Amino acid sequence: MGILGLGYMGLATAAAFARHGVTTVGYDVLPDRRAAVRAGMSPFHEDGLEELLQTEVRSGRLTVAETMADVAERAAVIFLCLPTPPRDDGEIDLRPIEGGAAELGRALARVDGFRVVVVKSTVVPGTTETVVGPALLGASGKTGDQIAVASNPEFLAEGRMVEDALHPDRIVVGVSHPRAAELLRSLYAVFDSPLIVVTPAGAEMTKYASNSFLALKISFANELARFAEQVGVNVDDVVRGVGSDPRIGHRFLQAGPGFGGSCFSKDVQAFARAARDRGVRLSLVEQIMTVNDAQTRHAGDLIAGQLPEGKGTVALLGLAFKEGTDDLRESRALPIVERLAGAGIEVRAHDPVSSGKFATWLQGRPVDIRDRVRICAAAEETVTGADVAALQVPWPEYLSWPSAWTRAMRHPVLVDLRRAFSEDRAAAEHLRLVRLGDGRPGVGTVPPASSGSARQGAPDAGVPRPALRAARSEGTG
């Protein structure tokens, strides 16, 4: 089995197949990435991935090829795990995957035997058969009886990709060629997961529909959070009751500063655009990004609202879009930093794994933003002299908050955008805790909604802890 593209999704997929006993060969156009994976090192941070890589590389089940032609020669089933970045108008850019398919086709022209090329990248319905297939056949000079195409979307959540790749809750395969269907059934027989076989376009649409629905659940919870702040209740209490209905469920029903990551924003916009191109308006889907952006603005205003006269220094704790990953793509930290710094507020920022990527992003901002943001090497440095600390990612080191951090702050106020910090802990550390989504009386100072400031609050438990932990690691993209 072959993997083309060793990014987050491709690398997790390759390692999972290898762990299940499938001889796997991977390839990436980046030489440094090939070298890192060959040495058993992950090119990026993802919980548990490097340990899995080291084991599978040492076992010999996972190898890295130096050329695409080597993969074409060795693998009967080849997965395309190539990027599909968004364009400015929301449409996905198919050039990377179309170009990759054509390059693979040229390599397959010199190979005998039947091959199945599987699109694992997220693409709009119809892409596998109308774009990837023709690119492969045109470049290879072969027929559909020699090269078959299929769709097999991934359902991996960053921060827990290893678990999701090893133990998927379902496997969706879109295939129309009978021989290809049998090969894929045999390949996936090593996984103890339900296998759903549909058409290629059906599989492609399943991925978009799934991500859009999850983004919709998160967005609904975020709107509930803003309402809860205004009526004096804890949104966690509300979603605990709502999610207890088995038709709804707790997962992806936790409020926060908005979803981020590489998938949800891109997929929601592409899904809505693809439907419009066919004369269909997905009205609910089209509103998701509007709600998400409004929630992020609200989070920024909630932080700024704790500053004396709206001025001072904010310590932003957590820059990745969620815990367990160093991925900065669509992280809510980025627009929050721009909103705060753009309002003249000094921002000190820290993240245990993604500060380097944040520094690269910051270099592309206007000078007035850059000059008000400082990246700190340690969390204690970040909070020292700060007027407000804001918890954007609930990394364990932040939740273990030592008393010295409280003493180091100018004003001991913590705005918890994820509701991960307990009230008891805050009281013990002499912190005034303000939590997004809680307007209970007596918790912080809550200005009226008409003032333009966000309400404050400090919820504690709501959803049972195991469900809440799962939702925090999965529900943000």
For the segment 452-477, what is each residue's pLDDT rounded down to a tens digit? 333 333 333 333 333 333 334 444 44
Is 131:91 a contact under the CB 8 Å cutoff? no
Give the Cα separation of 193 and 98 in Å (integer): 30
Q: Which residue stretches of 173-311 are H helix?
A: 178-188, 200-231, 235-243, 264-277, 283-304
The CATH number of residue 245's host domain is: 3.40.50.720
Reported as a single tens digit per residue, the pLDDT across 317-352 is 999 999 989 999 999 999 999 999 999 999 999 999
Instruction: Say which residues have a Cβ less than 8 Å from residue 13's Cβ, sequence separation at least 6.
Output: 3, 79, 81, 120, 154, 165
Do 28 and 158 have their domain in common? yes
Q: What is the mean pLDDT of residues 298-314?
A: 94
Q: Is residue 235 a part of any domain in this protein?
A: yes
pLDDT of amino acid 442: 62
Q: Is residue 205 a part of any domain in this protein?
A: no
Q: Is residue 261 a part of any domain in this protein?
A: yes
pLDDT of amino acid 279: 97
Percent of the chain with pLDDT over 70: 92
Give the Cα separation of 27 and 177 in Å (integer): 26
Is 278:271 a contact under the CB 8 Å cutoff? no
Give the Cα separation of 357 and 453 in Å (integer): 31
Tokens encoding 344:
């003249």
Helix (H, G, I), strand (E, B) or coil at 193: coil
Is 180:148 a contact under the CB 8 Å cutoff? yes
Q: Is residue 203 a part of any domain in this protein?
A: no
Do 417 and 386 have their domain in common? yes
pLDDT of amino acid 157: 87
Q: Which of the 8 DSSP states describes residue 261?
A: S
Give the Cα separation of 383 and 321 in Å (integer): 20
Give the Cα separation of 429 and 423 in Å (integer): 10
* Cα dihedral sign, 75-52-11-30: negative
Q: Which of 146, 163, 198 is the last residue of a domain?
A: 198
The domain in which residue 228 lies consists of 211-474
Do 107 and 29 have their domain in common? yes
Q: Which of 198, 220, 240 is the last residue of a domain?
A: 198
* Cα dihedral sign, 9-14-16-22: positive
H-helix or E-strand containing 110?
none
Number of domains into which the chain is organized: 2
Do 239 and 271 have their domain in common? yes
Mean pLDDT lowest among 227-236, 356-365, 374-383, 466-475: 466-475
Q: Which residues are catalytic?
A: 263
Query: Which position has the token pair 């559909």?
Result: 144
Q: What's the full length of the chain, in residues?
A: 477
**Is pLDDT above 50 for 448?**
no
Q: Is residue 272 a part of any domain in this protein?
A: yes
Do 269 and 167 have their domain in common? no
pLDDT of amino acid 440: 86
Strands 432-435 and 115-119: unpaired
Strands 373-375 and 432-435: unpaired
Neighbours of 191 (CB within 10 A): 17
As a whole number, the mean pLDDT across the chain is: 91
Radius of gyration of the chain (CA): 24
Do 303 and 412 have their domain in common? yes
Is 158:325 a contact under the CB 8 Å cutoff? yes
Is 109:139 a contact under the CB 8 Å cutoff? yes
pLDDT band at 310 (very low <50, low <70, confident <90, very high): confident
pLDDT band at 443 (very low <50, low <70, confident <90, very high): low
Q: Which of 140, 164, 198 is the last residue of a domain?
A: 198
Q: Is residue 206 a part of any domain in this protein?
A: no
pLDDT of amino acid 198: 98
Reported as a single tens digit per residue, the pLDDT across 388-418 is 999 999 999 999 999 999 999 999 999 999 9
Which whole-number Å values give the CA distances from 169 to 163, 181, 185, in the listed order? 10, 20, 16
Q: Is residue 90 a part of any domain in this protein?
A: yes
Do 182 and 144 have their domain in common? yes
Do 184 and 294 have their domain in common? no
Reported as a single tens digit per residue, the pLDDT across 94-134 is 999 999 999 999 999 999 999 999 999 999 999 999 999 99
Do 311 and 416 have their domain in common? yes
Do 263 and 390 have their domain in common? yes
Q: What is the mean pLDDT of residues 22-48?
A: 95
pLDDT of amino acid 450: 33
pLDDT band at 86 (very low <50, low <70, confident <90, very high): confident
Do 176 and 247 have their domain in common? no
Which whole-number Å values give the CA distances from 23 to 2, 77, 386, 407, in the listed order? 9, 11, 53, 55
Q: Is residue 306 a part of any domain in this protein?
A: yes
pLDDT band at 151 (very low <50, low <70, confident <90, very high): very high
Do 149 and 262 have their domain in common? no
